[in-house]
């Protein structure tokens, strides 16, 4: 599958090749991972239809979704998103695991969950995959860990904010690039902590309407708007794929 390069202009490109060209691991920080957030939205700003993001995206969005998972060390997901989207093994394709290995990455990306309350959906398919390594960052003694098939590591810190969790992940595992797939509350926490570095925003050519609906960020309005710089624009069959450098 090829995407049109609109900005900067260039020849059509496979989404995975485009991400490899961007080499986000070269922009990692000394004390924490670089954080990429991947979200999708309708043209009128809705990020879900009937409670899920999947119906908004087409083949292009799904290709970019898988490509992003192929080039990062770890995928961070909010506990609510884990429950709603029924997350399973992060990199399911043998071909994708081989591409990761060729890039010098572990064949399976880490999964990262950050929870203050300790409430996790232990019935999610993510915990049924024996090959999947899952790191849970939480308050001391906040989570009761049942026996599951996945390889679960517990990291307990007194203040499990997104920034603190990412720094501890980097200290223990040398993690360079983390992909956050939402949801909006987690996205806002990353932004408020100053650790949201790049936003990959897919625009699906849909109008949904409705008076209520989730946006990319949830919670209180930010004290000041955060500036973002447009870095790349790709296109595929009516979908636009925007990459912004944040802050």
- Per the listing, tokens 């500036």 go with 227
Residue 52 clears pLDDT 90, i.e. is over it: no
Residue 97: pLDDT above 90?
yes
User: Is residue 87's pLDDT more than 80?
Assistant: yes
Confidence of residue 213 (pLDDT cuts 50, 70, 90): confident
pLDDT at 72 over 90: yes
Extract the tokens encoding 138.
Answer: 């939480």
C-alpha closest to that of 203 among 26, 6, 1, 70: 6
Whose structure tokens read 């944040």? 246
Average pLDDT, the chain: 94
Which pLDDT score, from 0 to 100, does residue 143 have? 75
Closest CA to 239 of 192, 203, 185: 203
Is 90 exceeded by the pLDDT of residue 118? no
Q: Name the domain count of the chain.
A: 1
* Mean pLDDT computed over 73-89: 92
Instruction: For residue 162, name the pLDDT band (cuts at 50, 70, 90).
Output: very high
* Long-range pairs of 162-168 with CB within 8 A, sequence gap ≥ 24: 162/76, 162/114, 162/186, 162/189, 162/190, 162/193, 162/195, 163/32, 163/190, 163/193, 163/194, 163/195, 164/137, 165/112, 165/114, 165/137, 166/32, 166/33, 166/35, 166/195, 167/31, 167/32, 168/137
Q: Which domain holds residue 82?
A: 3-246
E strand segments, the chain: 3-7, 9-13, 34-42, 74-76, 110-115, 133-138, 151-156, 177-180, 198-204, 228-236, 239-246
Residue 84 has pLDDT above 90, yes or no: no
The SS3 of residue 105 is coil
Q: How far is CA 45 from CA 36, 165, 214, in A?
A: 20, 29, 8
**Percentage with pLDDT > 70 across the chain:** 100
Computed over its alpha carbons, how large is the radius of gyration of the chain?
17
pTM of the complete model: 0.95
Determine phi and psi for 16, rounding to 5 degrees: -65, -40
Partners of 240 in the beta sheet? Answer: 203, 235
Q: What is the pLDDT of residues 230-239, one digit of tens each?
A: 999 999 999 9
Residue 51, pLDDT score: 81
Q: What is the mean pLDDT of residues 35-42?
A: 97
Residue 203 has pLDDT above 80, yes or no: yes
pLDDT of 35 reads: 98
Q: What is the CATH number of the domain that holds 141?
A: 3.40.430.10
Rounded to an integer, the average pLDDT of 200-212 is 91
């Amino acid at each position: 599958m090829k995407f049109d390069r609109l900005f900067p202009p260039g020849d059509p490109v496979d989404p995975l090749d485009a991400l490899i060209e961007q080499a986000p691991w070269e922009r990692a920080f000394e004390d924490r991972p670089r954080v990429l957030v991947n979200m999708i939205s309708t043209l009128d700003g809705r990020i879900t239809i009937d409670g899920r993001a999947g119906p908004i995206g087409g083949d292009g969005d799904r290709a970019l979704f898988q490509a992003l998972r192929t080039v990062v060390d770890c995928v961070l997901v909010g506990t609510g998103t884990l429950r709603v989207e029924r997350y399973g093994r992060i990199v399911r394709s043998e071909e994708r695991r081989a591409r990761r290995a060729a890039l010098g990455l572990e064949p399976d990306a880490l999964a990262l969950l950050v929870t203050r309350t300790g409430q996790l959906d232990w019935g999610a398919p993510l915990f049924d995959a024996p090959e999947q390594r899952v790191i849970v960052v939480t308050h001391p003694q906040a989570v009761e860990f049942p026996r599951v098939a996945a390889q679960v590591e517990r990291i307990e810190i007194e203040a499990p904010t997104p920034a603190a969790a990412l720094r501890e992940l980097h200290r223990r595992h040398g993690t360079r690039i983390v992909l956050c797939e939402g949801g909006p509350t987690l996205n806002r926490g990353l932004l408020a902590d100053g650790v949201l570095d790049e936003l990959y925003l897919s625009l699906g050519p849909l109008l949904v309407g409705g008076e209520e609906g989730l946006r990319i960020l949830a919670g209180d309005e930010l004290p000041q708007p955060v500036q973002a710089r447009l870095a790349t624009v790709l296109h595929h069959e009516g979908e636009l794929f925007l990459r912004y450098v944040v802050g």
